[in-house]
Structure 1
């Protein structure tokens, strides 16, 4: 079993705060905004790093390499939020790493209190994030599914994920009880005409923060494995240049949207630049580097939470 070398969440956050303050030259108010915490907590985090001896001529700790990767990714892709979690040598899809990092981010977002409605998408990574979430009391918050998700077989059932979020936080939870992809354009129109469906989709569309996963456009894509789309459909998308998927929208290597036969049948929130939405992707692993880079190039992401190894590969390309 690989040794868990990651610092606890509070130590990791204090090192980030100290690095941004002493090395990055940010004022404490700016550090608080960057980390998504109140100013008082930012001050305490910096003082914690000082008290524990992390602040010397330089800031010591394994997390420093991650902070440098965060800053490099932030500059390259124009991100407002970027967090890189230390590599735990998981191999493949680093669910434990991403789950912990995502849970830490979501908890801070909830506790800050500036956002009351948060949109959540599908996927194993999002499910791992919710599983890693501690129990909180946030009855005035609400979560909403960003897309339909009914399927006969799905390891990370979105309805289970939303239910777990409600149980762990006491928040309201809204789901879309419809398929991700309708059988036809006409069927999609019928589904969207249902009052309950249209109301939930509007809540999802207006959610100021949307936390999403990233998918690939290959035969091993989770959309194919879960039975949401057929292998032949993903092959067509790949032949059309699609390499990455987010919220049911496919992108080519340069970040341009790919119009596919599925596009007009997808039950999901639209991607609207200029609305001021904060879309935060939680993704990592060897198979996600290409898809993630495509989506980063699209300009639709305002934030990224990933692992150290994925961050290094993104910057090396």
Structure 2
């Protein structure tokens, strides 16, 4: 390009559009021309090399990984979040939660009833979620959520905070995630309020859940899992949990005292919810996520690249035709 004046004008417009974030209409008004003129000038900037658009390599590789996983796992949608070279589990978890907060708005649009489980990943997701205005939307906790420890990650608290971000309302499930005894659970779930909330939670249109590794679990840190519970889980060959419901490597619920004391929707209920989004990070949860896939509990997954790579390796080495 020989015309210095033209080049200067193209650079000026390109900076306003690509760097400052102005719309073409805003630039047109600022300069005093029509919007189509700005559109043509932006195209000219690309044609002459004033503007060069690059696709970041890791983004391309993530898209390829997503597509491979969707095909191998027969998933509706898989979002793979770049770790950007980090090996810090907490940083990766926050990146996955942030990505989930960016994708969820388009998935929950036009929904009226949203369900949310509990845990640190979902806590970060809710914190990152943008403020919206969905006045007719209601959020339901999928599992009991009262206790004295780490209340900020309990399902009731997350449902409340999430409803504020959405501009909607929420319900509360006034019960612990795991009752002290089966007798106490029966008394609680027989109460009209708790029964009603659980029935409504089973009818949500979209559910957001985390996936846990029972042997490196927030539940143990919070005192929900005692040594006897861990022993029962090992005896039952549990590999993971969703909403405090434990399952084995085939995705089948563990039939033991612990699972029978959980107050919340059951794993089978997830299969009747139109869209279930699993949000998880860390290769320590590989077995749990794989088993959850065998159980057909997820429609969409948001995971980090390390976990995605391990899942793809497993998918290529193990037949999952039983997933249908």
Superposition TM-score tier, normalisation by shorter sequence: 0.7 to 0.9
Structure 1 runs, 4 residues or longer, greater than 3 Å off: 50-55
Residue from 309, 312, 319 that aligns with 1:312: 309
Q: TM-score, with normalisation over the residues of structure 2?
A: 0.75
- Out of 274, 285, 296, the position equivalent to 1:277 is 274
Alignment of 1:200-219 (within 5 A): 200-218=197-215
Equivalent residue for 1:105, pick from 103, 106, 122 = 103
Bigger radius of gyration: 2
Residue 260 (str. 1) matches residue 256 (str. 2): yes
Residue deviations 1:156-194 (CA, integer Å, cap 9, x gap): 233332222122221111121101111222211211122
Aligned residues: 264
2:207·2:276 contact (CA, 8 Å) conserved in 1?
A: yes
Q: Deviations over 1:145-165 (max 9, x none)?
A: 000021221252333322221
The answer for the alignment partner of 1:301 in structure 2 is 298
119, 122, 134: which one pairs with 2:118?
122
Residue 61 of structure 1: CA displacement?
A: 4.3
Q: Secondary structure at the match of 1:215?
A: coil
Unaligned 5+ runs, structure 2? 1-17, 19-45, 315-324
The two structures, once aligned, show a CA RMSD in angstroms of 2.4
> 1:218-257 residue pairs with structure 2 within 5 A?
218=215, 220-257=216-253
1:106-138 deviations in Å (ceiling 9; x for gaps): 22223x32x211100000000000000111111
What is the TM-score normalised by the length of structure 1? 0.77
- Distance in 1 (alpha carbons) for counterparts of 2:281 and 2:221: 18
Query: Which runs of structure 2 are paired with 1:1-80 in the superposition (5 Å)?
Result: 61-80=57-76
The Cα offsets for residues 42-85 of structure 1, whole Å up to 9 and x where unpaired, read as xxxxxxxx998669xxx664311111111122122221121111
Q: 1:183 aligns with which of 180, 185, 191?
A: 180
For the residue of structure 2 that corresponds to 1:206, the secondary structure is coil
- Quote the offset at 1:276 in angstroms: 5.1
Q: Unmatched 5+ residue regions in structure 1?
A: 1-10, 12-49
SS in 2 for 1:279: strand
